[in-house]
Amino acid sequence: MKHLAAFLLLGLGGNTSPSASDVKEVLSAVGVEADEDRLNSLLSELKDKDINQLISEGQSKLASVPSGGGGGAPAAGGAAPAGGAAEEAPKAEEKEEEKEESDEDMGFGLFD
């Protein structure tokens, strides 16, 4: 992936047919060593091909691939809350307010 990313960055920069040395230069600029075998394999696969066309073909193939889950089942409603549960809600709100107040006491603002 790092070789492909460097190749694509060079393409975005205007180099329509990056060489192995170009890709190595980009990778070395960020402190990454290029793998000769993988780089040569990538360049041979992409030789004389339009990157934009390959990306659009890949996107159409990915459109048919299921991704993510079904979202899971919704949480069960459970029984009606008891009388004590209603009293807990205001306490939680009070705690949140205390947190907000403590942030104001820090002595500086966001843009100070």
CA–CA separation, 26 and 23 (whole Å): 5
Question: pTM of the predicted model, to two decimals?
Answer: 0.53
- Percentage above 70 pLDDT, the chain: 61
Q: So where are the chain's domains? A: 2-62
8 A C-beta contact, residue 20 and residue 39: yes
For 83, how many CA atoms within 13 A lie in the half-sphere containing its CB?
Answer: 0
Q: 108: phi > 0 → left, psi -120 to 50 → alpha, else beta; which?
A: beta
Q: What is the DSSP string of 49-84?
A: --HHHHHHHHHHHHTTS--S----PPPP--SPPPHH
Q: List, for residues 53-85, the tens digit of each pLDDT value.
A: 888 888 888 888 887 766 566 666 666 666 555
pLDDT of residue 93: 59
pLDDT at 22: 93
Alpha-carbon distances, residue 17 vs 32, 49, 56, 106 (angstroms) = 21, 9, 18, 55
Residue 34 to residue 23: CA distance in whole angstroms:
8
Which pLDDT score, from 0 to 100, does residue 26 have? 93
Rg (CA), the chain: 28
pLDDT digit string, tens, across residues 9-25? 998 888 888 899 999 99
Does the domain spanning 2-62 belong to CATH 1.10.10.1410?
A: yes
